[in-house]
Structure formats: structure tokens, C-alpha cells
Amino acid sequence: MSPVQIELAENHAYATSSTGCYPAESLSPLALNAELAGENRLASERWQSLCLGSPSRQHFHDKLITSLLKEQRIEEASNAFTANQRRFANAKFLILEARILQAQGCYDGALQVLRRLAGQFANDPNIELAIGHCLSESGQHEAAEAQFMALAEHKDIGAQQLEAELAANADRARQYELAIERWQKLVHAHPGSIRYQVKLIGALLNMADTAAARERFQQFEKQYRDLPVRYNLLLHIMQADNEVESALAMIEEAIERAQGAGQSAREAGKQPVQVFSSFLKRKANLLRRLHQNTGDAHYLIRERQTLLQARALKHSDLELEIKLVHACIALGNFQEAAERQEKLPVSMADALSNLRIWAKDQAGDLKGAKALWQARKRRLYIPHIQPCAPGVLQRKDARALPETGDEIRLFTAIRNEAWRLPWFLDYYRGLGVDRFFFVDNGSSDGSLDYLLEQPDVHIFWTDQSYAASYSGMQWINHLVRQFGRDGWVIYVDVDEALVYADIENQGLRDLTSYMAARDEEALPGFMLDMFSATTPKSPPPGEAIDFVESYPLFDPNVTRYPLANCPYYYVRGGARRAYGWGEILTKTPLVRGGRDIEFLMSSHRISPARLSGVSAALLHFKLAGNYGQEFKEDQRNNNRMPACQKRHRHYARVLQSDDGQPSLINEETLRYQGSRQLTELGLIQAPADFYPADLYPTDMSCVDIHPDIPIAAQGDDAAMKKPNKP
């Protein structure tokens, strides 16, 4: 159903009533309609009315509690359950107690409730399925699979329901190929099921196979053109293909049509029509994505205006209120953000606890922020920090491994990176890294053999999917907990070179001593994409390469905006602006060991920590060698998270387009000269007391690029000219 059709359905129901109220026989389908439109607050109001009018109808109470949980109105949901648990003392209703706990992230408590009910209602299919569902949601995917498979012979559980649970479990486990296979089987057996077709399209998008998703959507659209989910699916596909401007134009046109329908209704003397806030929320999402792609702050302003427009409607909801807090943070309106956050429900749910942690840190209460994080860890399943199962990481070296002490230890994960390893190890040894910990994800190019020859490297091998480990986060956090309990921890990729102020004169030990003296726990930074003016190509096998010298160019045009997650900012822009996809560049590459700091999205986000006044850049050599071929290989291997898959597929598509390789050189391109240059450009910083008195930077004498002659006008020879030494 389109926005207009949803609004007209509301109008029609109102028009059939002579009292100005919805007739009872219309309210139940309209409550379902509100759910489909994403209007959880409106849905819960309608289910509440139905419960009051028909208190003996269990179905209405089930729906009311479910709607309340979607809004994280935990206390109201709990009260509604308690008030009716004697009236509806059956397994199907009592399971809602476990769902209330699950909504709070308390999976252990939910499992305890379900197992108690399993003893009370022996062999009840609803309880057994709920146990499997809870195991799956809490990340215990193998246990969930076993639970569902054990129910195959249960006479009261249909094969269709069981197959759907298994398909959903594969989705949650990021086993996307298996999920697609299972959803396809269900669609083939039940072609009239809207749910199965939607799930199949979603799984195809998770695999970044937008071509197959579009083909399936076209078949779906012919059958169900008038359903709201059709509209949502189209938007998801367009965003996956980075067709953000087209998606925005489409939703703005739909909103305009709905507003026109509202005006017509008012002129006819009917109920004024409201544009459902869910469509305005989708518009806000697209505006945020456009800001990420372009760095244009105007989109952030429009996002907040759109959310306020949605809030001005009669029916607000929790999702909208959370989005408004994030919009205020991004715009730097911290006081308004804090005031809005204070009005949100107190909950350990992910979206709400993140904002509570931000508010604590914003108020200068780092101890409180850390306490909330620890409470969240105890209550919620956070997949990125889960320990690896036995046998996932197999240690391959036999070198002595002393206690951490005060060592600086570097952790990273690789797959077929042999051509980068000599440079990478030399660079970080030169900075003062004492010991390296590598996870080799099934390399076949000799990387493992090379690393085994290195005296300061410890190597762990795994064939687990990179995506299944949440981009290697489970591997890295597992090793850091085991081998980074003291000293200092560096987490970088092998295509990144750490640079901080005065790095030419001060090594890592100087930096960590400075941070330790001030009880600083984390070094904030960002990736600065580096590239060459010449056509990219991979070096011959065995040829050593200095990445800083070979890929010396960068685009300094980056934007930095506040964010609700530590390190509380995000950076976008740089050379990959030319590809039209705004990748997050934020990184936190160095943290204090033994402070229970965890990496949550690579090092783009970390758990709460005291940030250093020194900041860093990671010279990022992703655009090195034959990187276009690497993007294609990523697509074939399908070993990355969905968001990364979509981004790399977009890069590959741009490179294969008629226009070919986009020019990365523009009027703002610069040649890297050293840390002083980045400091003067404002890309990195350090307090004055970080420098020796005679080395505090006061000029840019080290830079040999003429400020009035951009690199783009100097040509390749000028662009590749070696810099003068500082």
C-alpha cells in the first residue's frame, strides 16, 4: 500500500462512522495496517482500544504487548502481561514474559522462563520453538539449529513453520547462502506467502546480490503492488545500489501525493489526513545517507527538520525520538540532544543504552559511562565481543610468549596480503611495536609461511568466515583479552600506517608515556586515503614496496561530525569521494591494555574510554596495487559483512562503467610531506606540551607543493616529485 492508499484507508474507515470514531469492526484491520506502516504508537493505541472493548480476546492482548515492546515501553508491556497472566494461563500467552526479557536483552533470564514453562507445559510446541528463537537471537546459532532440528518429528509443529525458523536462524548467523537456499525453498512451496518472498529479497540484499533482489522484487511487485512492504523493499534495493537521490525523489513525491489526498479529504468534510511519520522517517534516513556520501551539512539540517515534521503529527514513536537525539548530536546541539535523551525510556536495549552512555560521557562522567557499558555487557548479547568457540583460532607458531608487561602489541587480521607484509612489519617495528599478533583467515599466497619466519610474530589461523566473526571483531577482541591485558594495544589493518604529530622524532613509547601520564586510554584518529597519480597495478611477486613513497597523494577534504558512540565523532570524505559512497573513516588505533576497552566495529567504534588530546591519521593504502581486481575478488569470495560487500560492489561497478576509473586528483589534492603538514592542515593535532620545546611546529617549510598551483595543474611529474626533507 502506498502512502496515499494508507491514508485513504484511514479516511474510508472514518467516513463509515457517523460518530467521528472508527467502528469496532474496522479497528482490528486498521491496527494491523498501522503495524505494516511502521506506526507502532498508533498500533498500540488501537490494540489498547480493542483490549478495553473485548477484554476476553487474548489475541488483542498479545498484539498490544508486542506493540509496546517494539517501542521499548517495557514497564507498560510488563504491566499488561501481569494483569492478564491469570486470565490467559496458557503457554502461548505466558511465553510473553520471556519476550519481555528478550526485548531488554536479557536472554539468560528469558531462557530460564522458557525452560520453566517447558516443565510446566510438557512438549508444548510454542515453548519449544520459543526456546530455539531465543537461542538464535542470543547468538547461539548452532544450539538453535539443533533445537529446531530436534523438533522435526513433533506432531504439532508443521514443516513449514520449522523451515522458516531454520531460514531465519541462518540469516542471524550470517550464513547468507544457506538462508537464501532455505527461503527459496519456502517461496517455491508457498508462492502466496508475502513474508517468505520479503525474507528472500532481504537475504539476497545481505549477499549484496542486488541484481537478483531486483529480479525477485519485479515478480513480487506484479502480485502485491498495493502493499506497504512493496514500497519499503524498493527503497532498500535502491539504497543498496546507492541510488539515494532517486530514492529521496521517489519518497518526496509519495509524501506530496499523500498531502494532496489529505487536502481533498478536508475539503470534503472528512477527517484530516495525516502523512504517516514512518515515510518521513524514511526520508530522514535518506538525507542522513546523502550527508554521509557528500559531507554537505545541509542534509543534516533537512534531516532534523523532517524528523520534527514527523513529530508534529499526532502519533510519535520511540524510533522517531531516538532519531531526533542522533540528529541533534550530529548538528552539535548537545544540550537539546541531552534534554531529549533524558525523556527516553530507561532501558538496556541497544539504541537506548548507547544514548545513555553518550549522555554520561557528555556530562563528564566517564566512570558512569563505563559502568553503563559493563551493565549492558552483562544484560545484552553483543556479538562483536563474544569469545571465539574452541578451535576457531588455531595457534601456528611455537614461540615463547611472555606476560604482557609494558609491551606495545599490535593485533591484526589478514587474508592473502603477502605483498604488504614486509613493509607493514618494517614500518611498525620502526615505530616501536614489541610484538605482533596475526589472524590468518585462510591465506593461499604464502602469507602464513612468511609470518612464521618472523621472530616477533605470533600467528593464529582460522577458516571461519570473516563476516561470521563480525569483520574479525570476535577474533581480535578474543586475542586482546588473552594477550593484551596490560601495556598498550594497537589494532590496525595491514594497509594502514599510523601517523601522529611529531612522529618523525617521537616513537610509540614516547606517545604511550605521554598518554599514561595523563591517564589517557585511547588515541582517536581517522583513515586518510592515499593514492598514486599513475595507473594502479600490483607489484611483481617478491618485489619490496614502500607504500608511503609509492602512493603519496591524498585529498584533505574530509568532514568530521559528532556521533553518539565512542570516540564520539565520525569522519567522511577523502579520495573515495570520487566513487560516490561515503565510507566511515573514523578509527581508534591505540588503546590502553587492561582497561576493558573493546573494539565494536573494526576500530571505528570502541567501548567508553578516556580519549587522548593527541589525535592520529592512518595513511590508508586501500587504493594500492590492482585494487579494482581486489574489489572483484571480494565479490566472488563473499566473505565480508553486507555493508562492506555493497560498498565494494559499488566500487567495482564504477570502475567497470563506461567512464572507467574516476580521477582521484582534483584541485585540492596534496602530496604527503609528513606529520607537520597534517598538523598544519588541521587533520591531526597534539597539545603544545607533547612536543619538545624546540620542535613545536610554527611553519610549513617542509612542504614543496606551491599553494597557488594545485597538483591537478602540475601534472603527474610534479605530483610524484619527492618532497624535501623537513
CA nearest neighbour of 601 among 357, 347, 413, 383: 383
The grid coordinates listed for 625 are 596495487
CA atoms within 13 A on the CB side of 188: 7
CA nearest neighbour of 500 among 300, 685, 710, 628: 685
Residues 271, 277, 283, CA angle at the centre, nearest 5°? 135
Amino acid at the residue 247 = A
Amino acid at the residue 498 = L
pTM of the predicted model over 0.85: no
Residues 558, 559, 563, CA angle at the centre, nearest 5°? 135
The CATH number of the structural domain formed by 91-157 is: 1.25.40
CA nearest neighbour of 319 among 298, 292, 290, 350: 350
Amino acid at the residue 479 = L
Which residues, in sequence order, are bridge partners of residue 560? Answer: 571
Helix, strand, or coil (residue 405):
coil
Contact present, 466 and 474 (Cβ < 8 Å): no
φ, ψ dihedrals at 671, nearest 5°: -100, 130
Rounded distance, CA 724 to CA 174, Å? Answer: 50
Rounded distance, CA 673 to CA 671, Å? Answer: 6
Rounded distance, CA 226 to CA 193, Å? Answer: 15
Q: What is the DSSP letter of 346?
A: -
CA atoms within 13 A on the CB side of 246: 10
Domain boundaries, the chain: 91-157, 405-673+693-719
Max Cα distance, the chain (Å): 85
Q: What is the DSSP letter of 693?
A: G
Query: pLDDT value at position 3?
Result: 41
Query: What is the phi-psi region of residue 208: left when phi exceeds 0, alpha when psi lies from -120 to 50, beta otherwise?
Result: left
Tally of CB atoms within 10 A around 445: 15
Query: pLDDT value at position 272?
Result: 39
First to last CA, the chain: 65
The grid coordinates listed for 201 are 529479497
Query: pLDDT value at position 281?
Result: 85
Mean pLDDT by 10 residues, the chain (726 residues): 44 43 63 73 87 92 92 89 94 94 87 95 91 90 92 84 93 88 94 89 86 89 71 85 90 79 51 57 91 88 93 74 94 96 85 94 96 89 90 95 88 94 96 97 94 97 90 95 94 97 97 97 96 75 82 93 94 82 87 95 93 98 78 62 62 60 81 96 96 62 32 35 30
